[in-house]
Amino acid sequence: MSNKHRILVPLLATALVSCSANPGPAPVEKEQPTSTTTTPAKKAKKTSEIAVGIDPINGGLNPHMLADDSTFVRSLATLVLPSSYIGGELNSDLLESVDDVPPPSGSKAVQTIRYKIRPEAQWSDATPITVSDFEYLWHAIVETPGTLGAPYYRAIGQIRSADGGRTVDVDLAQPLHDWRVLFNNLLPSHVLRGGDSDFSTVLADGIPASAGRYSFAGVDRQRGIVTLNRNDRFWGEKPATVENIKFREVTDIAQGRELLRTGQIKFLDITPTEVAREAFELMPNTQVRTTTTSLNLQLIANTHLTLKQRADLQSLIDVHTVARIAMGRSTDLGVGDQPYEPHADHLMSLGRPVRIGVDPSDPEAQMAARVLSDVLARKSVKTQLVETDTTDLIGSKLAASAVDAIITWSAANAMEKLQCAPTPTNVNIALWCDPDTDQHINDVLSGAMTREDFNSYAADVDHQQHLTTVIAPDTRLLVLGTQPEGKGTKFTNWPMGLTSIGQWSINEE
């Protein structure tokens, strides 16, 4: 009996990956005494599955929290959570229409966005998607420290509904030009709302209900495996073609090579090590490349330090040394040439240690903080490491003036990082609050100023105020496993890493 090849395919890129299966003996139909006709044996159908290797998961799974933000969490969200817009296009599976309509007469709203939810749209537990899910996400983002996207959600004044919660009217208190960024990765409010759970931790151990092509089946922290199943309640036009997706943690090169060699995984998206690229390139028929994401490991100093003290702190950071030791490699660091001219006079006059906050669950950030502490000690500057989770650092520790700087991974945009907040919340870790900056942010939100112009302005503010020091970008090592002879295309034609996994399928040959 010939083997049957199973080929993993990103549909948009037409790249192919083989995946072999060896089904057991075909069932044999018993001979019937009244007939001499035989029936061809049928092969048992094997469950279709995609398995990929990922970095160890150190945090939760909430795509709206800075503390949880990662390539894997973003990819997971696209598979199991519904969004109003995907890639700038209306998600017609979730919404019948979205319109910018006139605000109600007598209202203080300056703009109203009307969302009409498809009547068949539902969570995987059969609960309808309604206005409650929109309200829950709005309140959670504006009220929780460490959330992403707050400037857009702060523009909302109120949310109204009709048609049993299927028509959602979002009244804006200020003009919002790019309102299509709202209400992506909606969460199941009927499960998460209420109780003692904080928004920052409600998805710490899983996603209780899904409304994408896949449903979240579970996470096995002991084995390092996250499993998704095809969502049988998905109502959209293109349901998942693969029954299961498994994300498997890869902790070292030897494990990754063995999993690829034995066909247990066909793709890797991991953080590179010193020799990882070379080790995977040596394997037969593998394709390897590196890329970077929008995440950066950063030190963000806040206004508890004076401008001159922040300038001293920034000058003392030997970026190459900190990055090399924190990331555990000297290759694929992505760190440009930076002058190192340390001076510490103003920090020396601080009269206390410089307090650097870091989340101990993040190994690279923690190592960076410890290395920086040693670097500063060589210049006679005392430090104190404040180690707690990222949300606590951004929330209570900043509010209590308990940290002078925080080291964390962040992809927050310039508006999020610099917008004044009613309380020290969201991701304005620098605690920067300036009327001119806020006016520019309002101009961007209304469309009077381009994002590019604001980013240039924000970069000048950050440079002049010595707020952010980028230590290293998030570099990904992508490895594609063995392909059948004559099949597939070049790896460079694949969509980037895990972000395209929802477009993959398994073809039978």
Question: Are 467 and 500 in the same domain?
Answer: no
Look at residue 338 and give its three-state secondary structure: coil
Note down the domain range covering 425: 293-475
Question: Are 177 and 106 in the same domain?
Answer: yes
Within a domain: 26 = no
Please, what is the average pLDDT of the chain? 89
Check whether 267 has a pLDDT greater than 80: yes
**From the CB of residue 24, how many other CB atoms can be counted at a distance below 10 Å?**
8
Per the document, the length of the chain is 509
What does DSSP assign to residue 68? G
Question: Are 381 and 492 in the same domain?
Answer: no
Q: Which of 10-14, 279-283, 321-325, 432-436 shows the lowest mean pLDDT across its residues?
A: 10-14
Look at residue 505 and give its three-state secondary structure: strand
Check whether 478 has a pLDDT greater than 70: yes
- pLDDT value at position 497? 62
What does DSSP assign to residue 102? P
Within a domain: 284 = no
Question: Are 125 and 242 in the same domain?
Answer: no
Question: Are 412 and 319 in the same domain?
Answer: yes
Within a domain: 442 = yes
Residue 248, amino acid: R
Within a domain: 324 = yes
pLDDT tens column, 392-407: 999 999 999 999 999 9
Question: Are 497 and 462 in the same domain?
Answer: no
Instruction: Find the mean pLDDT for residues 401-427.
Output: 92
**From the CB of residue 492, how many other CB atoms can be counted at a distance below 10 Å?**
9
Question: Are 248 and 387 in the same domain?
Answer: no
Q: Which of 139, 172, 192 is the last residue of a domain?
A: 192
Q: Which of 167, 192, 217 is the last residue of a domain?
A: 192
- pLDDT value at position 226? 97
Higher pLDDT, 502 or 475: 475
- pLDDT value at position 18? 37
- pLDDT value at position 454? 98
- pLDDT value at position 493? 55
- Going by C-alpha positions, the residue among 280, 218, 284 that lies closest to residue 53 is 280
Q: Are 418 and 440 in contact (CB under 8 A)?
A: no
Q: Which of 246-250, 381-385, 422-426 shows the lowest mean pLDDT across its residues?
A: 422-426
- pLDDT value at position 336? 76
Within a domain: 63 = no
Check whether 36 has a pLDDT greater than 70: no
Question: Are 389 and 500 in the same domain?
Answer: no
Within a domain: 67 = no
Q: Is 414 exposed, middle or buried (0-12, 13-18, 19+ CB in 10 A)?
A: buried
Check whether 30 has a pLDDT greater than 60: no
Question: Are 264 and 371 in the same domain?
Answer: no
Question: Are 168 and 86 in the same domain?
Answer: yes
Q: What is the domain count for the chain?
A: 3
What does DSSP assign to residue 103? P
How far, in Å, CA of 358 to CA of 96, rounded?
Answer: 44
Check whether 7 has a pLDDT greater than 60: no
Question: Are 488 and 461 in the same domain?
Answer: no
How far, in Å, CA of 463 to CA of 508, rounded?
Answer: 55
How far, in Å, CA of 380 to CA of 113, rounded?
Answer: 56
CATH number of the domain encompassing residue 504? 3.40.190
Confidence band for 323, pLDDT divided at 50, 70 and 90:
very high
Instruction: Find the mean pLDDT for residues 471-498.
Output: 69
Instruction: Find the mean pLDDT for residues 59-85.
Output: 96
Within a domain: 71 = no
Core vs surface per residue 139-169: b (16+ CB within 10 A) or e: bbbbebbbbbbbbbbbbbbebbbeeebbbbb
**From the CB of residue 56, how many other CB atoms can be counted at a distance below 10 Å?**
13
Apex 152 CA angle, 58 and 426, nearest 5:
40
Within a domain: 460 = yes
Question: Are 328 and 377 in the same domain?
Answer: yes
Confidence band for 499, pLDDT divided at 50, 70 and 90:
low
Q: Strand locations in 173-277, DSSP E?
A: 214-220, 225-230, 244-249, 267-270
How far, in Å, CA of 321 to CA of 375, rounded?
Answer: 9
CATH number of the domain encompassing residue 134? 3.90.76.10
- pLDDT value at position 32? 46
